[in-house]
Structure 1
C-alpha cells in the first residue's frame, strides 16, 4: 500500500512537471514584465543654458563646476569647519528619525528572510497528543459507554511546489521593497546632513543680521534724539523730527521677527541633532566657513545611479513587476505534498511498541476554475500598478533633473548677487570710513557720518543674505548629486555584514 501511494504521488508530480515544462517551452506562460526601468531622456545639460565652467568671483572666492565629476561622500567637510563637521556627525549618529528608519529596515530584512524560508523550504513540525475520552460502545460487544485513553506523537512535513514561480515572484517583490526602503534611508541620511548644514548656516546668518540690524536701530535712535534736540532749538522742523522717530521705530520693528526666525532655526537644528530645543548649539561664525571651491556636477546619464530617490523608484518598479508575476501564478495549478510518521495507541506501551506505528503520505492538486473574476481582476490591478510605477519612475527622473537644474541656476545667480552686494558693501564701508574721518576733522556734522554708516550696514545685510544663500545652495547641490556608486567589493562586504 505504501509503495502504491508513493508511486501514484510520484506519477502525478511527474505529469504536472512535464506539463509545466511544455508550457514554458512553448512560451505560453507570460507571467509579467521584466522590471527594467524605462528609457528616459538624456539631456545634454540640465538647464536651459549650458553649464558654466565656473562662477564669478565673490568675496574673493570662485566655484568651479566639475562636469562629469563624482559625488562627494562627506561633502560638508569641504566647508572646513570642525564645528560644522561635529554637528553633522552628531545628527547622523543621534537622530531618532534615522534610528527608527534603520531599525525598520532591519525588521524588513528579517521579514524577507522569514518569507524566503517559509516559501521555498519544507515545513516540519513535531506534535504530541494525550487525551482521555468517553465514547459509545457496541451493545452486543460490551457496555454502552466506554472510557479510553489516546496517545499520539508524530512528525509532520509539508511542502508546496513553486511550480509557476508564485513564491519566487513574491520573494522578489519583497526583496525589491526592502531595497526601496534602504534607498529611502540613504536619501533620509543625506537630507538630514544637508538640513543640518543649511540650518547651521541659516542660524549664523540670522545672528549676523540681528547684530547689524541692532546697530542700525541704535544709529536710528541717535538720529531721532538729534532731531528732537534740533527741533527744540528750532533748527529742525517737526516733520523732520517725526520722520526720524518713524524710521527708528520701523527699524526696531524688524528685530522681533528676526529673533523669532533665529530662535526657530536654532530649535529646529537642535531637534535635527537629536537634542531638545533648549540645548541648541551655539551659532557658527559665518565668516569662518569656507565656500567649497570644487563642486561636482554628475552627468545626467549617471545621475540615475547616484540619486537615492531614483534608485528607490527603480526598486518600486521591480516590486510592482514581481507582483504581476504573483497575480499571474495564482491562475495556474498548485501542488502540495505532505507526510507524517509517529506512534499512537490507547496506552503508552502500545503507543511505544511496533504496533503503534503511524504514517501517512499524500498529495493535493488544485486548479482555480471559478472565482467570480477575482483572480483576473487582481492581475489587471497588478498590471495597472506596474504601469503607474513606470510613470512614477519617469516623473522621479524628471524631478531629479529639475532639482539639479534649479540648484545650479540658483548657485550661479547667488554668486553674481554676492559679487554685486560685496562690491557695494566695500564701497559703502570706504565711504563710511571717510565720513568718520571728516567728522573727526570737524568738516561735517556727526549725523552725516551716521547716515553713511547706515548705508554701509544696509549693504552689509545684503552681503550676509547673499553669502548665506550661496553656501546653502552649495549644500543643496551636493545633496542633489546623490551618493557615489558603490563598487562590487563594497556591496559584497555590506551584504556579508548584514548576514
Structure 2
C-alpha cells in the first residue's frame, strides 16, 4: 500500500521556525536607525547669541543639568520649582500609579515563576435523594475536608516570560512618562513665574500710559476752553485715553490667571498664590547645554518612552506566537476528608490526587492567527511611532533654538529702542524744566518710553520662557536622574 504523507500540523511548522531562528518567537524590539543630522534646524546652531549684556552660549555636546532652573539665579524661583515637584498632585498621582504598576509587575513575575499553593477547608451538610427501593428515600449527611492544592504551568514556549517582558516594558514607559511630567512641571513653573512678573510690569506700564493720556486729555480740554483747540482734538484725546484704559482689564485678567496657574502647579489653592517676582531679579542663563542628536535619543523621556513601547509591542508579538504552542500544567492535592471530623482525621481519611494536562490549540476559528497578525502590525506601528517621536523631538529642539536666536535679536532691538526713547524723554524733561518746551512734549516722550518698555518687557519674558523650553527639550540622562 502506498504511504500517504500528511502535512504537518501548523504548530509543527512554527516549532521548526522556532528552532531555525534561535528560539526567538518575535522581534527583539531594537529601535530602528534614525538619521543623525549635522544640526537640528535649517540653519546651523550658533555658538553664541545676543548682545554683550544679554548674551547666551549654546554648549554643543554638553550634558544637561538636572536642576537647570537654578541657572536663573533666583532662590525664590528655585524654591517654587522644588515645592511644585514635591506637592503637585498630578505628579504625585503619576508617581503612585508607577509604584502600583511596579507592584503589579512583581506580582505577575512571582506568580509565573513559582507554583501556586492554596489551602482549602470545607464543611458541608447535604441532603440527597436515595436510590429507589434501597434504603431511605433521602440521605442526610455531613462532609468535612481539608486540602492543600498545588498547581504549576511550565513556561515551555515563553508565554509567561513574554507577558512579563511586555509588562516590564510598560512599566519602563510609564517611568519615562513620569520623568517627562517632572520636566514639564518644572518648565511650566518657570514659565508661569516669568509670565506673572512680565504681566505685572505690563500692567504698571499701561497704567502709567493711561495717566499720561488722561493728562493730555485734561490739557486739551483747557485749550478748548481757551479757544486754542477744537472739540475734535478733545474727542481724539479722549478716545486715545479710553482705548488704553480698555486694555487694562484684559492684562489684569492674564496677570491673575498666571498667578493662579502658578499656585495650582505648586499644589496650592489659587488664593494662596505666591507674590510676583521682579522681572529684573531673574538672570538670563548664560550657558545652555545642547545635546547632539545621537545623545538626544538617549535622554529625551518621550523618545525613551517610545522605545519602551516598541519593546512592549515586540514582547506582545512573541506572546501571540507562543500562545499557539502546547502548554503543560500539573496539579496536585493532599488532604483529609470524611463524613465526620473523627473519620476525616483518621488514617482512612487521607485523600490525594495528582494530574498533568497538555493542551495544544487546534481550532479557534482563526482567532490565534488573527491575534498574531494584529500583534505584528502593532509592532510595525510602534516602529513608526518611534520614528515620528524622534522627528518631533528634533523639530522641538530646532524650533526652540530658532526661537531663542530670534528672541535675542528682538530683545537687542527692543532694548536699544527703550534706551533711546528714555534718553529722549529725560532730555525733554530737562528742557521742560528750563521752560524751553511744553509739558506735553515731555509726556509724549514718556509715552514713547513706556511703549518701548512694554515691547522690551515682552521680549525679555519671551526669551526667559523660551530658554526654559529649550532646557526641557534637552531631556536628562536617565542614569543621573533616576533615584532607583
When normalised by structure 1's length, the TM-score is 0.91
Deviation at 1:148, TM superposition (A): 2.6
How far apart are 1:485 and its partner, in Å? 3.6
Out of 101, 108, 113, which is 1:120 matched to? 113
Please tell me whether residue 43 in structure 1 is matched to residue 41 in structure 2.
no
CA RMSD of aligned residues (A): 1.9
Where do 4+ consecutive residues of structure 1 move more than 6 Å? Answer: 18-23
Q: Pick from 356, 369, 386: which aligns with 2:349?
A: 356
In 1, Cα distance between equivalents of 2:28 and 2:46: 40
Distance 1:23 1:451 in 2: 85
Superposition pairs for residues 169-180 of structure 1, below 5 Å? 169-180=162-173
Q: Residue 80 of structure 1: CA displacement?
A: 0.8
| Count of residue pairs the alignment pairs up | 473
CA distance in 1, matches of 2:314, 2:13: 25
Structure 2 equivalent of residue 32 of structure 1: 26
The partner residue of 1:201 within 170, 180, 194 is 194
Residues 201-240 of structure 1: pairs in structure 2 closer than 5 A: 201-240=194-233
2:321–2:372 CA contact under 8 A, matched in 1: yes
Q: 1:68-87 maps to which residues of 2 (within 5 A)?
A: 68-87=61-80
Q: Does 1:332 align with 2:325?
A: yes
- Encode CA deviations 1:155-190: one digit per residue, 9 max, x unaligned: 110001111101110111111111111111110111
Distance 1:28 1:71 in 2: 41
1:242 deviation in Å? 1.9
1:459 aligns with 2:459: no
Q: What corresponds to 1:254 in structure 2?
A: 247
Name the CA distance, whole Å, in 1 between partners of 2:16 and 2:244.
Answer: 85
**Structure 2 counterpart of 1:275, from 264, 268, 283:** 268
Distance 2:152 2:336 in 1: 22
- 1:435 maps to what in 2? 428
Aligned to 1:53: 47
Report the Cα distance in structure 2 between the residues aligned to 1:146 and 1:296, rounded to whole angstroms.
86
Give structure 1 stretches of 5+ with no counterpart: 1-17
Matching of residues 34-433 of structure 1 within 5 Å: 34-57=28-51, 60-137=53-130, 142-433=135-426
Residue 45 of structure 1: how far off its partner (Å): 0.5
SS at match of 1:486: helix
SS for the counterpart of 1:124 is strand
Q: Which shows bigger deviation, 207-216 or 124-133? A: 124-133
Between the aligned partners of 1:67 and 1:135, the Cα distance in structure 2 is 85
Structure 1 residues 186 and 273, CA gap change in structure 2 (3 angstroms): same
8 A Cα contact 1:418 1:467, kept in partner = yes
- Distance between the aligned counterparts of 1:28 and 1:180, measured in 2? 28
Following superposition of structure 1 onto structure 2, how do residues 475-486 of structure 1 map, counting pairs within 5 Å?
Answer: 475-486=468-479
CA shift, 1:31, in A, is: 1.6
DSSP 3-state at the match of 1:48: coil
CA displacement 1:109-159 (0-9 Å, x = unmatched): 111111112222111101111222333455776444333322211111000
Residues 216 and 440 of structure 2 are in contact (CA less than 8 Å); yes or no, is this contact kept in structure 1? yes
**How far apart, CA to CA, are the structure 1 residues paired with 2:214 and 2:129?**
108
1:138 and 1:420, CA in 2 relative to 1: closer, same or farther beyond 3 A?
Answer: closer
Unaligned runs of 5+ in 2: 1-11
Note if contact 2:18-2:25 (Cα within 8 Å) is conserved in structure 1.
Answer: no
